[in-house]
Amino acid sequence: MLTPPEQFGIIEKGVYRSDMLHPSHFSFIKALQLKTALVLSPEVPTRAVLNFLEENNIKLVHLGLSIWKPNLGWRPVSEELIKDGLEMALDVGNHPILVLCTSGIHETGTFVGCLRKLQNWNFSSIVAEYRSYAGNKNNNNYCNKKKERNHKSLIKDVVCMVQIK
């Protein structure tokens, strides 16, 4: 039986998003014939996930661990993490690629928002897509609005950095 991760989605052809993998997802993930798994959160995948990736020749790039910075203040994730992640995802040599974080929402949602801005999506559409994955995970409306404003500011900053490079 093929069971996708709860937050699985297709970003673009050959670029997928997800929350952290579990053994119940392995058959589904194997069918994608991934070349790269890009982890944006600092948490280390389980031994079962690491073994699965290795057995299936899926390159693990754990940017969340190598770039993680404490005390980012109001920023949900670091600009460097998103910028480096975008560079990896935009390189078709890494495709098919799965971009994931612990929840499949925060780091991955910010990453996808930056990618969508590079694709000239408007912010209303970017926020709508973010909300479709966030669902009721955080049902404090004030908190959500503040997070969305922070994501919007970060998206502008990162997109400028990627375009300048």
Give residue-wise pLDDT tens across range 121-164: 998 898 899 889 988 655 444 445 555 555 555 555 555 444 43
Give residue-wise pLDDT tens across range 3-22: 999 999 999 999 999 999 99
Task: Please tell me the distance from the alpha carbon of residue 89 to that of residue 114, in angstroms, as a whole number.
Answer: 12
Task: Please tell me the distance from the alpha carbon of residue 85 to that of residue 63, in angstroms, as a whole number.
Answer: 7
Query: Which residues, 6+ apart, have CB-to-CB distance to 13 below 8 Å?
Result: none
Cis before 70? omega within 30: no
Structure tokens that stand for 92 in this block: 């078709």
* Segments making up each domain of the chain, as ranges: 9-164
117 burial level (CB within 10 Å; 0-12, 13-18, 19+): buried
Cβ pair 8, 37 in contact under 8 A: no
114 is catalytic: no
- What's the predicted TM-score (pTM) here? 0.82
Identify any residues that bridge with 146 across adjacent strands, giving them in sequence order: none
pLDDT at 36: 99
State the catalytic residue, choosing from 101, 114, 143, 160: 101
Tokens 């479709």 locate to 132
The CATH H-level (homologous superfamily) assignment of domain 9-164 is Protein tyrosine phosphatase superfamily (3.90.190.10)
List of E strands, 40-107: 59-61, 97-100
Cβ pair 84, 64 in contact under 8 A: no
Give residue-wise pLDDT tens across range 29-40: 999 999 999 999
